[in-house]
């Protein structure tokens, strides 16, 4: 095991992120005998170097991605804080670890719809969620492009309409959603009809 792979496993362990019982939409848990064959391989699905294993998160054969628009997350993306593991399915992992998140994902630049897992996202953007009662909720994007809401005490009625916003520029999501695990569908390749990553608005797209 190389040093970077070892660091990922240690970081996942510190975060309590054991994905052995994680279940993404439409997939069986990892490490369940024959059923495990259908479990998601995040590295294969999104072109990145992250794979789910019985022990947690580890680098796949591809290692850290090299073709990122902003740059690879590197070791700092593996530290168990809100900037960790951009591009990966945050909510599923934290749910398996017993440390649930309500909503989480990664926003990528407008020209990076297929960046791999562990590629840094963009900054200076907010995610706007309007719940079924019409209340607006804004989540800030942090230095790795991640947005996170950990509040489980006040659940927002769904379905939600979602947009990324930067000043007057907006990129609305087509349709509505009820799940807060944004990166589970917004993979590099796209899943469940998502075309790819959550993207920041195009410049000049102000409404």
Neighbours of 133 (CB within 10 A): 7
The domains located in the chain, with CATH, are 3-84 (no CATH), 103-199 (2.60.40)
Task: Give whole-number Cα distances, 137 to 55, 87, 134, 183, 201, in Å.
Answer: 35, 22, 10, 19, 18
Q: What is the rounded average pLDDT of the residues 110-126? A: 95
Is residue 50 over pLDDT 90?
no
Give the pTM.
0.72
Which of the four pLDDT bands, split at 50, 70 and 90, describes residue 42?
very low
- For residue 159, whether the previous peptide bond is cis, meaning omega lies within 30 degrees of 0, is yes
Closest to 87 in 3D by CA, of 176, 12, 147: 147
Strand positions, DSSP E, 32-156? 50-53, 56-59, 103-108, 126-130, 136-140, 146-149
């Amino acid at each position: 095991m190389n040093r970077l792979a070892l660091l990922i496993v240690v970081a996942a362990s510190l975060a309590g992120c054991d994905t052995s019982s994680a279940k993404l939409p439409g997939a069986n848990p990892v490490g369940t005998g024959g059923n495990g064959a259908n479990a998601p391989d995040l590295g294969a699905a999104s072109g990145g170097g992250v794979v789910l294993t019985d022990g947690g998160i580890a680098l796949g054969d591809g290692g850290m991605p090299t073709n990122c628009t902003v740059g690879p997350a590197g070791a700092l993306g593996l530290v168990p804080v809100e900037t960790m593991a951009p591009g990966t399915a945050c909510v599923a992992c934290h749910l398996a670890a017993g440390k649930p998140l309500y909503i989480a994902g990664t926003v990528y630049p407008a020209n990076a719809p297929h960046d791999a897992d562990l590629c840094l996202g963009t900054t200076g953007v907010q995610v706007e969620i309007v719940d079924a009662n019409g209340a607006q909720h804004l989540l800030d994007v942090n230095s790795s492009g991640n947005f996170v809401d950990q509040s489980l005490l006040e659940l927002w009625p769904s379905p939600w309409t979602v947009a990324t916003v930067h000043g007057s520029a907006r990129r609305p999501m087509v349709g509505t959603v009820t799940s807060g695990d944004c990166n589970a569908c917004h993979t590099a390749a796209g899943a469940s009809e998502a075309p790819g990553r959550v993207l920041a608005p195009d410049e000049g797209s102000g409404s």
